[in-house]
Amino acid sequence: MELRQLQYFVKVARLQHVTKAAEELHVAQSAVSRQIHRLEEELGVRLFMQRGRNVQLTPVGQLFLKRAENILNDLDQSVIELHEFLDPEVGEIRLGFPHSLGINMVPQAVAAFRKLHPRVRFRFRQGMYPSLIRDVIEAEVDLAFISPFPEKNDQVTGEIILTEELFAILPENHRLAMEDSIPLSELKDEIFVLFSEGYSLRPIVWEACKAAGFTPKIAFEGEETGTIRGLVAAGMGVSLLPEMAMYHTSSMMPAVVNISSPHVTRTIGLIRRSEEKMPLVVQMFHSFLLDFFSKQNK
């Protein structure tokens, strides 16, 4: 079976006329009829019935048309993707990131990139730590921001682009709210507002508290930094959040206090699939991000 046969078949099926199909294909009518006949012989079925000057698909022809159209559409899309792979200025980048980085960091980086490359398209996917790693491995995204950076995973590779300090956040009327810095152990008797299970900041805060000599007592859980901030500001407890989570302001903002000990940080990494060549547009964006965050760290 030849690609030309499928193209001729689909054109005749859509126009229901061999002569008109030949005119649009810029070939002789006999050539179209010959290719359709060969296709029918190879398949062992009749694809068309004559209806006066027109032709009409047989039931099996209608079934085959759907498959043939899918094959040709897939081929066309493959050609488009190939051109996009080779031309970084017209490609698409599939980017994953956690919700906490979607407030400022990701929009700022993407906006800066699009000023230089306005024709590049983006497709975004937000998720939690395990789902982002899975999305990269299963090729659902090309790149993903992730926190913390995975220390060992044979299927993904990448770079740490930022190391961010965590701060204690307290209700404004808290006894320690006016302090410049406190040891984390000062909060051992407090109730905590933490991220729900599955969010990467939860184990970071948990391990920091354990290093300070206590296990945090959890009263409330949330799934967004805005929720954590709001609950703390409302007096529901205390928590730890990264500096990035403080960029957004609202009428309900907690006090922010440095932690003198232990030093609590989180890493933010940029990951991709191991041992796989990235499309040129993704390579270009990847290089841009490394340079973009390198300058921010200086």
For residue 222, which of 245, 250, 190, 188 has the smallest C-alpha distance? 245
Q: What is the DSSP letter of 185?
A: G
For residue 98, which of 126, 118, 121, 122 has the smallest C-alpha distance? 126
201 exposure class (CB count in 10 Å sphere: 0-12, 13-18, 19+) = buried
For the chain, how long is the longest CA-to-CA vector? 93
Q: Are residues 149 and 272 in the same domain?
A: yes
Q: Is the pLDDT of residue 37 over 80?
A: yes
Give the pairing type, strands 92-97 and 265-273. Answer: unpaired
Q: Show the domain range for 51.
A: 3-86
Q: Are residues 230 and 98 in the same domain?
A: no
**What are the tens digits of pLDDT across the range 91-106?**
889 999 998 888 889 9
Boundary of a domain, candidates 22, 52, 86:
86
Q: Is the pLDDT of residue 207 over 90?
A: yes
CATH number for the domain including 221? 3.40.190.290
Q: Are residues 172 and 231 in the same domain?
A: yes
The proportion of the chain whose per-residue pLDDT surpasses 70, expressed as a percent, equals 96
**Taken in order 68, 74, 77, 78, is the CA torsion positive or negative?**
negative
* Cα separation, 241 vs 251, whole angstroms: 18
How many structural domains is the chain composed of? 3
CATH number for the domain including 21? 1.10.10.10
Q: Are residues 155 and 276 in the same domain?
A: yes
Q: Are residues 259 and 166 in the same domain?
A: yes
CATH number for the domain including 115? 3.40.190.10
Per the CB < 8 A criterion, the answer to whether 131 and 165 are in contact is no
Q: Is the pLDDT of residue 212 over 70?
A: yes
Q: Binning pLDDT at 50, 70 and 90, where does residue 77 land?
A: confident
* Confidence (pLDDT) at 51: 87
Q: Are residues 262 and 272 in the same domain?
A: no
Q: Is the pLDDT of residue 84 over 70?
A: no
Q: Are residues 138 and 280 in the same domain?
A: yes
Q: Are residues 7 and 61 in the same domain?
A: yes
The three-class DSSP label of residue 258 is strand
Element of type H or E holding 270: strand 265-273
Q: Are residues 102 and 148 in the same domain?
A: yes
Q: Are residues 272 and 134 in the same domain?
A: yes
Mean pLDDT of the residues in the chain? 90
Q: Is the pLDDT of residue 156 over 70?
A: yes
* Cα separation, 298 vs 189, whole angstroms: 38
Tally of CA atoms within 13 A in the half-sphere of 107 that contains its CB: 6
Boundary of a domain, candidates 86, 121, 143:
86
